[in-house]
Amino acid sequence: MFIIEAQKVCKIFNKREEITAIENFSLKVRENEFVSIIGPSGCGKSTFLLLAAGLESITSGQIFINGSKINGPDPKRAIVFQEYLLFPWKTVRKNVEFGPLVRKVMKAERRKISDKYIKMVGLEGFEDRYPHELSGGMKQRVAIARALANEPEVLFMDEPFGSLDSLTREMLQSELLQIWTEAKCTVIFVTHSISEAVYLSDRVVVMSRRPGRIIADIRINLKRPRLREMLSTPEFSEYERKIREFVWAQV
């Protein structure tokens, strides 16, 4: 079953001059798949996420989620950005509970939800801390927990680990795979890192330079659960090589 279907999507921005960000973009994603999107800077990766999340309007074409045409934001589609975008005046728990609060979930149930996802992202004991008291990696864990608290069908992630140091990034990559397994949702993950895309994904979609189109859709047939040791295997290196050829051809 396809949970996401993008059909010949085009997005044109009209600011000081007309810019076509993506065109003829078609993609199908199955339920519970982990799909990464990679390509040159400015190719429209983030634009597609905003369109699919209902945060930007489509110029032409259509995107369907579970068979329904996207007409705006929906709690069943969550997005995590590179910037943490946490409420600085709210504690970890209050940040995580924000979505359920907006949906008018009762206080006791909100507590259960926040307990579940705070535990899932490994932040037990930090429930009453404020964002300024947390490291960058911990802030991003809060952002992920807040996104998951609405129990979305689709989780969009726009370079969520891009601003982190390499060690924290590696740790969060492995933790994300565990979280994805537990949360049972579809993930669309934008990244500039080829190794990150291969390590995390069921499929890696490569985009052309702007206007962005899909030029390759590569299935990653590496067994799960994924271990860091596999990054040094010939199989992993071959996937990296293949994707790098497509990416560098667009630079």
Q: For residue 202, which of 171, 175, 239 has the smallest C-alpha distance?
A: 239
Residue 251 has a pLDDT of 67
Share of the chain above pLDDT 90, in %: 76
* Cβ neighbours of residue 145 closer than 8 Å, sequence gap 6 or more: 96, 114, 117, 118, 120, 121, 123
Residue 50 has a pLDDT of 94
**What is the average per-residue pLDDT within 27-31?**
95
CATH number of 2-76+153-248: 3.40.50.300
Question: How do residues 81-97 score in pLDDT, each as one tens digit?
Answer: 888 789 999 999 999 99
ω into 160 cis (within 30 of 0): no
The yes-or-no verdict on residue 16 having pLDDT over 90 is no
The yes-or-no verdict on residue 26 having pLDDT over 80 is yes
* Residue ranges of domains in the chain: 2-76+153-248, 86-151
Report yes or no: 212 and 22 within 8 Å, Cβ to Cβ: yes
| pLDDT band, residue 190 (cuts 50/70/90) | very high
Report yes or no: 84 and 142 within 8 Å, Cβ to Cβ: yes
Structure tokens, 183? 């949360």
Residue 65, H or E segment:
strand 60-65
Structure tokens, 60? 């032409």
Sheet of strand 214-219: strand arrangement: 77-80, 154-158, 186-190, 34-38, 203-207, 214-219
Residue 111 has a pLDDT of 94
Helix (H, G, I), strand (E, B) or coil at 1: coil
The yes-or-no verdict on residue 35 having pLDDT over 90 is yes
Q: How many residues can be counted in the chain?
A: 251
Structure tokens, 68? 């329904």
Residue 18 has a pLDDT of 87
Question: How do residues 61-70 score in pLDDT, each as one tens digit?
Answer: 999 999 899 9
* Tally of CA atoms within 13 A in the half-sphere of 231 that contains its CB: 13
Share of the chain above pLDDT 70, in %: 99
Question: How do residues 109-133 score in pLDDT, each as one tens digit?
Answer: 999 999 999 999 999 999 999 999 9
pTM, two decimal places: 0.93
